[in-house]
């Protein structure tokens, strides 16, 4: 089995340090950096989680102009003090990157769309036409362009932003899986609870969820089982610092 991941990619940098005093010039903490970690985020994190589950993958992303998200973290409390994003958009996908793909090579396709400019609605519609088992995780407003998607994963805020559409489009609503943090997730109006665990960092948890969901689904084609597996995997990564894999 092999999964194709398509979407925006960034570098997630975490700078860990200590804060022992407030600056005399302004009421802000004085941060002393001690160590840092860097790994791929967004679609890159989806791919890394698929790899950690032992499944082969290909990744199509904006490797020519990588976005960088830098988070400054107090090492003792794990509290994020500041996040700096270098650029907030990337170049769009080159059409040849899509048309030259051999879609039959892939068991499933994951579209990891952080709405940074790599994929347009037309691109996503094209992808969904080329492969029958396409999963979508998107920040875009939903519409007719995603009608061929098999399953769509969104969070609570994204659901609220699309609520008026989903209230009138029952066919689209049937595809929606809503992640709700510590409350679990909702699918077809049923809540699937998750285990309560001590949370260190939720960064990248949605990437883990979609990666685990698809990895399990392509094995047994049971979406409820896949949802429960995805939630188990998510509870693992939120107990780790930074953007982590399963």
Q: State the Cα angle at 165 between 160 and 166, rounded to 5°.
A: 70
pLDDT computed for residue 203 by the predictor? 87
- In percent, the amount of the chain with pLDDT more than 90 equals 89
pLDDT computed for residue 96 by the predictor? 92
What does the block give as tokens for 111? 């579209």
pLDDT lower than 50: segments of the chain: none
Number of H helices, E strands in the chain: 8, 12
pLDDT computed for residue 70 by the predictor? 96
Per-residue pLDDT tens over the stretch 42-53: 999 999 999 999
pLDDT computed for residue 22 by the predictor? 95
Kindly give the pairing relationship between strand 67-74 and strand 108-113.
unpaired
pLDDT computed for residue 87 by the predictor? 84
pLDDT computed for residue 71 by the predictor? 96
pLDDT computed for residue 36 by the predictor? 96
> Hey, how many other C-beta atoms are within 10 angstroms of the C-beta on 187?
18
Look-up: residue for tokens 């979406």? 223
pLDDT computed for residue 93 by the predictor? 95
pLDDT computed for residue 200 by the predictor? 87
pLDDT computed for residue 45 by the predictor? 96
């Amino acid at each position: 089995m092999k999964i194709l991941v398509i979407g925006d990619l960034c570098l997630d940098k975490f700078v860990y340090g200590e804060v022992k005093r407030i600056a005399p010039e302004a009421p802000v903490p004085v941060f002393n950096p001690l160590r840092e970690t860097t790994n791929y985020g967004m679609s890159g994190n989806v791919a890394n989680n698929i790899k950690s589950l032992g499944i082969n993958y290909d990744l199509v992303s904006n490797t020519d102009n990588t976005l960088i998200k830098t988070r400054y973290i107090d090492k003792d409390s794990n509290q994020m003090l500041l996040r700096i994003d270098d650029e907030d958009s990337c170049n769009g996908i080159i059409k040849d990157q899509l048309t030259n793909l051999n879609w039959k090579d892939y068991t499933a396709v994951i579209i990891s769309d952080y709405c940074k400019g790599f994929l347009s609605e037309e691109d996503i519609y094209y992808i969904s036409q080329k492969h029958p088992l396409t999963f979508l995780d998107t920040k875009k407003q939903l519409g007719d362009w995603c009608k061929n998607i098999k399953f769509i994963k969104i969070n609570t805020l994204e659901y609220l932003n699309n609520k008026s559409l989903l209230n009138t489009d029952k066919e689209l609503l049937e595809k929606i899986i809503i992640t709700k943090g510590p409350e679990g997730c909702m699918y077809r109006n049923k809540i699937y609870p998750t285990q309560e665990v001590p949370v260190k960092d939720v960064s990248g948890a949605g990437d883990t969820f979609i990666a685990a969901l698809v990895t399990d689904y392509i094995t047994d084609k049971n979406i409820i089982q896949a949802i429960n597996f995805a939630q188990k995997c998510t509870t693992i990564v939120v107990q780790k610092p930074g953007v982590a894999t399963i």
